[in-house]
Amino acid sequence: MTPLLLWPLFQFLAALNQSPNPQCSLKGNFRPGFLANGDFIIGGLFPLHYNMEMPDLNCTYKPGPVRCNGFDPRAFRWALTLRLAVDQINQREDLLPNHTLGYKIFDSCAYPLTGQRAALAVLNGPAEVNSPMCSGSSPLLAIVGESGSAQSIVVSRILRPFRIPMISYFSSCSCLSNRREFPTFFRVIPSDDYQVKAIAQLLLRLNWTWVGVVRGDHEYGRFALQGLLRELEGTGICVAYQEMIPLLYNRQKALEIIHVMNSSSARVVVVFSAEGELTPFLRDYMEQNVTGIQWIASEAWVTASVFTGSEYYPFLGGTIGFGIRQGQIPGLRDYLMTVNPVTYPSNPLVKKLWETLYDCSPSSSSSRNSILPPCTGQETLNKQHSAYINTSSPRISYNVYKGVYAIAHSLHNLISCRPGRGPFSNFSCADVRNIYPWQLQHYLQEVSFTISGEMMEFDMNGDSIPSYDLINWQRGSAGNVEFVNVGLFDGAQDPGKELVIQEKGIVWAGHQGEVLVSVCSESCVPGFRRAVRRGQPLCCFDCVPCDSGKISNRTDSVDCMPCPEDYWSNAAGTRCIPKAVDFLTHDAMGIALTVIAVVGACLTVAVLVVFLYHRNTPVVRINNSELSFFILFALALCFLCALVFIGEPTSWSCMLRHTAFSITFSLCISCILGKTLVVLAAFTATQPGNNVMKWLGPKQQRVIIFSCTMVQVMICAAWLITSPPFPSRNTQYQRSKIILECTVGSDVAFWCVLGYIGLLAGVCFILAFQARNLPGNFNEAKYITFSMLIFCAVWLAFVPAYVSSPGKFTTAVEIFAILASSFGLLLCLFAPKCYIILLKPEKNTRQHLMGKEK
Ligand code: TRP
């Protein structure tokens, strides 16, 4: 298809090459919409129809002409604005004096293909004879056009070889800012780079984080979508869907898109498209009766008068978007009023305008192929025809106006060039009678002027200063749509200050009082964090509570922050609070243990009292009563030293704990050991020739007890000197609490101390075991064996319990072991004796005890 489309261009270039004897022949006839002669001709390309019908392109015969359908009064107004501007300039004394501007206006039909045809037509003359291209000089100096970016791209590529500058009034595609690709392209509309920035800021400002995008199938839509996605990166706004309205409208596809829009949870839709494809799309949309969608219109349709009808309001009311800034065009309204079939009897465009505006056919000659009734001639333009006559806020018309003035001012500057001071080689100026378009391009690039109080110039890429009006579709008096200005975006401002919204003045979609919510997931309250759903955009997430020890104090936090040391999260996970300090204190467990210890100590004292009271009875006196008193004393201490373990650990209490406990226990076991030895000795002594008893008099016993205890004292002293136990904060075990405990300082010492007690107990047990079967009714060795058995069992059980029990329970276990073993000793050693003393005094005789009395 492409070679066929480019055929006219080849012809045209071929014609250029045959310069000595030009033989130009036009391959088709394409009449301009308007034509005026002048010293300098500018071209104008306008989409006077918004639709076209493709001819049959089967390449077997010459295709018929492309037919344009749907006359667009709005574009017609743009074209008339060009004429008005040229007329005004021609009348001015100060701008281009003694020269006149002319124009050639062609219909581009709003499609690239037809745009290309129009571009070629504007370069050619209307007939072969006056085709100036053939004679070498340039047919025109500049072109005002085109409307859509896709068309502008095509036109710009055609103009490029001739270096004819073009000024577009509506092509905003950011792709056109590329000077390498489009060296002769200028525009009086901001690049979409700014528009997408503005839309992104608008979405952010209104908290719409979940939006859909619909676009047309053209460069404008493609680049705008790309730009928007780029702008939305990292802002937390996600695009729920991207849909494309096909270039050749297709109802099936449109219904699919509408279904996607309706079923998505994104209620906000950004649409980069123009009336051409949007009109049928919206018709289908309204047919489906979909509501509740907030439209964000791109500049291409946000002020499109096609959609001002009252039938659109229920569906499109509340639409918001950025529109091109408006300006003042003096005399435009009056000028438009002068256009009617009487003043332009032969102009087909004026005829079409009348047909479109009044649904009547103005000239009788053409009535044979028209089905419309003839016009009365009394038709007057009124408000209904706002698409054509609404000049209160010209936006695109104003762009056209600016474009023409930019060319005029550049030409003026070119003409005012002083010889010898020109910008071209050797400081030459352009030859006014034979201006080359590239010379005008130079002046266009430099031009700077004020128009309607606004400064106008082009930057290096041919772009102009970006600024937009924020436009909201509100209900007019007749139920129609009215475009109300509710803010602006000024790209010249500092970042962050560009967008100004008067939110109070905005009517939202569905006529709600407040901004509609369009989010994929509700935001997460403090104490929760976002967890992105797999395979879904970032905006769709679940809220999961922070782990304990971590908090989030903002809504929508992505992460939970860990609390600093010594702090822990509160139950809600919103704040860090100081960790609870925990140690074995006078809580339930502490009190219970204290009571048990005190009871134990009291019991011991009671036994002591009983023994003292009955100190002269045989049961007490048997086997050295002094040792019994020692044992009871040591036991009392054992009970009491359990108390040191309760309460907040301090460096003193930590040092005291283990030493006191180990020494009292050593003392106790030593005494028992002493007693065991006495028992053993007493019975072996009865065997002849054995005088062990001599070696085990009371003095020796004391020495044994003392030295056995001393060993423990030494160990403890060494421990305290080298690495004493100290209080510490355990944050590891229960991370939400600080457990205050005593660190033993040296594990070796700790286990030595325990080991030593174990050793004493072990020896004691073995010896007592030897003596367990000795005769006598009251065999203490049996009880000692028992007691040691219990003692060892308790402490053997203690070891694993101690190692594995956490935090303050370590201490509790230790206390428990102390108390249990103490009770074990107390009961085993003294309960039988007490029983005899208190309840069976008759057995408290020497005979009975020696087993001599049966
Ligand atoms: N700014 C749009 C563009 O650059 C405006 C436009 C005009 C348009 N006519 C169009 C967009 C036709 C799509 C189709 O293209």
pLDDT digits (tens, 9 = 90+) for 177-210: 999 999 999 999 999 999 999 999 999 999 899 9
User: Is it the case that residue 843 has pLDDT exceeding 90?
Assistant: no
Distance from C-alpha of 127 to C-alpha of 30, rounded to nearest angstrom: 9
Report cis status (omega within 30 of 0) of the bond before 146.
yes
Nearest atom, ligand 1, residue 220 CA: 15
Counting ligand 1 atoms within 8 A of each CB, the residue from 49, 78, 170 with the most, and so the one to mutate, is 170
pLDDT digits (tens, 9 = 90+) for 410-444: 999 999 999 888 898 889 998 888 888 999 999 99
- Asked whether 327 and 394 are in contact (CB, 8 A), the reply is yes
- Asked whether 298 and 224 are in contact (CB, 8 A), the reply is yes
Nearest atom, ligand 1, residue 189 CA: 1
Task: Tell me how far CA of residue 528 lies from CA of 104, 238, 284, 531, 673, in angstroms.
Answer: 67, 21, 43, 9, 64
Instruction: State in Å: Cα 487 to ligand 1 middle.
Output: 23
Burial 174-205 (b: 16+ CB within 10 A, else e): bbbbeeeebebbbbbbbbbbbbbbbbbbbbbe
Architecture of domain 3-189+391-453: 3-Layer(aba) Sandwich (3.40)
- Asked whether 810 and 802 are in contact (CB, 8 A), the reply is yes
Q: Where are the beta strands (DSSP E) in 491-575?
A: 499-501, 528-532, 541-545, 550-551, 561-562, 567-569
- Asked whether 225 and 194 are in contact (CB, 8 A), the reply is no
Average pLDDT over residues 267-291: 91
**Domain range list for the chain:** 3-189+391-453, 192-325+465-505, 528-580, 605-727+739-850
Phi/psi zone of residue 510: left (φ > 0), alpha (ψ -120 to 50 degrees), beta? left
Nearest CA to ligand 1 atom 8: 148
- Asked whether 267 and 299 are in contact (CB, 8 A), the reply is no
Instruction: State in Å: Cα 609 to ligand 1 middle.
Output: 111
User: Is it the case that residue 15 has pLDDT exceeding 50?
Assistant: no
- Does the pTM surpass 0.75? The reply is no
pLDDT at 216: 93
pLDDT at 785: 86
Helices (H), 92-191: 112-123, 149-159
Task: Tell me how far CA of residue 17 lies from CA of 10, 20, 23, 799, in angstroms.
Answer: 11, 9, 10, 108
Instruction: State in Å: Cα 121 to ligand 1 middle.
Output: 21
State if residue 216 touches ligand 1 by the CB under 6 angstroms criterion. Answer: yes
User: Is it the case that residue 685 has pLDDT exceeding 90?
Assistant: no
State if residue 375 touches ligand 1 by the CB under 6 angstroms criterion. Answer: no
pLDDT digits (tens, 9 = 90+) for 805-822: 777 778 888 888 889 989
State if residue 149 touches ligand 1 by the CB under 6 angstroms criterion. Answer: yes
Task: Tell me how far CA of residue 375 lies from CA of 355, 358, 370, in angstroms.
Answer: 9, 8, 12
State if residue 112 touches ligand 1 by the CB under 6 angstroms criterion. Answer: no
Distance from C-alpha of 611 to C-alpha of 604, rounded to nearest angstrom: 10
Nearest CA to ligand 1 atom 6: 148
Instruction: State in Å: Cα 60 to ligand 1 middle.
Output: 33
* Average pLDDT value over all residues in the chain: 85
46 by DSSP, 3-state: which? strand
pLDDT digits (tens, 9 = 90+) for 566-603: 888 988 889 999 888 877 777 888 889 899 999 999 99
Confidence grade of residue 2 (pLDDT, cut at 50, 70, 90): very low
Distance from C-alpha of 363 to C-alpha of 354, rounded to nearest angstrom: 10
* Alpha-carbon radius of gyration of the chain: 53
Confidence grade of residue 7 (pLDDT, cut at 50, 70, 90): low
Q: Which two tokens stand for residue 311?
A: 């039938």
Sorted by sequence, the CB contacts under 8 Å of residue 341 that are 6+ apart come out as 350, 351, 354, 362, 363, 375
Nearest CA to ligand 1 atom 7: 148
pLDDT at 18: 47
Average pLDDT over residues 695-715: 86
Average pLDDT over residues 646-661: 86
Q: For residue 87, what is the enclosing H or E element?
A: helix 73-91
Residue at token pair 């649904």: 359
Q: What are phi and psi of 308, to 5 degrees?
A: -85, -5
State if residue 148 touches ligand 1 by the CB under 6 angstroms criterion. Answer: yes
Task: Tell me how far CA of residue 719 lies from CA of 662, 749, 798, in angstroms.
Answer: 12, 6, 21
Sorted by sequence, the CB contacts under 8 Å of residue 700 that are 6+ apart come out as none
Residue (of 297, 304, 8) closest to 154 by Cα position: 8
Q: Which two tokens stand for residue 15?
A: 């014609």
Nearest atom, ligand 1, residue 168 CA: 4
pLDDT digits (tens, 9 = 90+) for 332-353: 988 988 888 888 888 888 888 8
pLDDT at 236: 84
State if residue 300 touches ligand 1 by the CB under 6 angstroms criterion. Answer: yes
pLDDT at 367: 46
Confidence grade of residue 308 (pLDDT, cut at 50, 70, 90): confident
Counting ligand 1 atoms within 8 A of each CB, the residue from 220, 226, 464 with the most, and so the one to mutate, is 220
User: Is it the case that residue 614 has pLDDT exceeding 80?
Assistant: yes
pLDDT digits (tens, 9 = 90+) for 707-717: 999 999 999 99
pLDDT digits (tens, 9 = 90+) for 349-394: 888 888 888 888 876 554 445 577 777 777 777 666 666 777 777 8
Distance from C-alpha of 468 to C-alpha of 707, rounded to nearest angstrom: 101
Nearest CA to ligand 1 atom 12: 148
Report cis status (omega within 30 of 0) of the bond before 311.
no
Distance from C-alpha of 666 to C-alpha of 670, rounded to nearest angstrom: 6
Nearest atom, ligand 1, residue 300 CA: 5
Distance from C-alpha of 484 to C-alpha of 476, rounded to nearest angstrom: 10
Task: State the CATH class of domain 605-727+739-850.
Answer: mainly alpha
Instruction: State in Å: Cα 258 to ligand 1 middle.
Output: 22
Nearest CA to ligand 1 atom 10: 148
460 by DSSP, 3-state: which? coil
Nearest atom, ligand 1, residue 298 CA: 1
Q: Same topology for domains 192-325+465-505 and 605-727+739-850, yes or no?
A: no
CATH number for the domain running over 528-580: 2.10.50
Q: Which two tokens stand for residue 447?
A: 């031009």
pLDDT digits (tens, 9 = 90+) for 469-519: 999 999 888 888 889 999 999 988 888 899 999 988 899 887 677 888 888
Confidence grade of residue 28 (pLDDT, cut at 50, 70, 90): low
DSSP character for 292?
-
pLDDT at 19: 45
Instruction: State in Å: Cα 245 to ligand 1 middle.
Output: 14
User: Is it the case that residue 687 has pLDDT exceeding 80?
Assistant: no
Instruction: State in Å: Cα 104 to ligand 1 middle.
Output: 22
State if residue 172 touches ligand 1 by the CB under 6 angstroms criterion. Answer: yes
- Asked whether 152 and 44 are in contact (CB, 8 A), the reply is no
Instruction: State in Å: Cα 154 to ligand 1 middle.
Output: 13
Distance from C-alpha of 25 to C-alpha of 12, rounded to nearest angstrom: 9
- Asked whether 126 and 102 are in contact (CB, 8 A), the reply is no
User: Is it the case that residue 145 has pLDDT exceeding 70?
Assistant: yes
Cα–chain center distance at 680: 84
Distance from C-alpha of 357 to C-alpha of 384, rounded to nearest angstrom: 9
Which is higher by pLDDT, 542 or 135? 542
Helices (H), 160-218: 192-205
Residue (of 36, 37, 39, 34) closest to 411 by Cα position: 39
DSSP character for 839?
I
pLDDT at 700: 83
CATH pick for 192-325+465-505 out of 2.60.40.10, 3.40.50.300, 1.10.3720.10, 3.40.50.2300: 3.40.50.2300
- Asked whether 354 and 378 are in contact (CB, 8 A), the reply is no
State if residue 73 touches ligand 1 by the CB under 6 angstroms criterion. Answer: no
241: which strand partners? 212
User: Is it the case that residue 23 has pLDDT exceeding 60?
Assistant: no
Instruction: State in Å: Cα 593 to ligand 1 middle.
Output: 87
Q: What are phi and psi of 472, to 5 degrees?
A: -125, 135
Q: Which two tokens stand for residue 195?
A: 């528009």
Counting ligand 1 atoms within 8 A of each CB, the residue from 52, 74, 147 with the most, and so the one to mutate, is 147
Which is higher by pLDDT, 685 or 533? 533
Nearest atom, ligand 1, residue 277 CA: 14
Nearest CA to ligand 1 atom 13: 274
pLDDT at 694: 66
Average pLDDT over residues 266-282: 91
- Asked whether 782 and 828 are in contact (CB, 8 A), the reply is no
Instruction: State in Å: Cα 323 to ligand 1 middle.
Output: 13
User: Is it the case that residue 20 has pLDDT exceeding 50?
Assistant: no
pLDDT digits (tens, 9 = 90+) for 521-540: 888 899 999 888 888 888 88
pLDDT at 851: 61
Q: What percent of the chain has pLDDT over 70?
A: 90
Please state, as a whole number, how many other Cβ atoms lie within 10 Å of the Cβ of residue 547.
Answer: 12
49 by DSSP, 3-state: which? strand
State if residue 147 touches ligand 1 by the CB under 6 angstroms criterion. Answer: yes
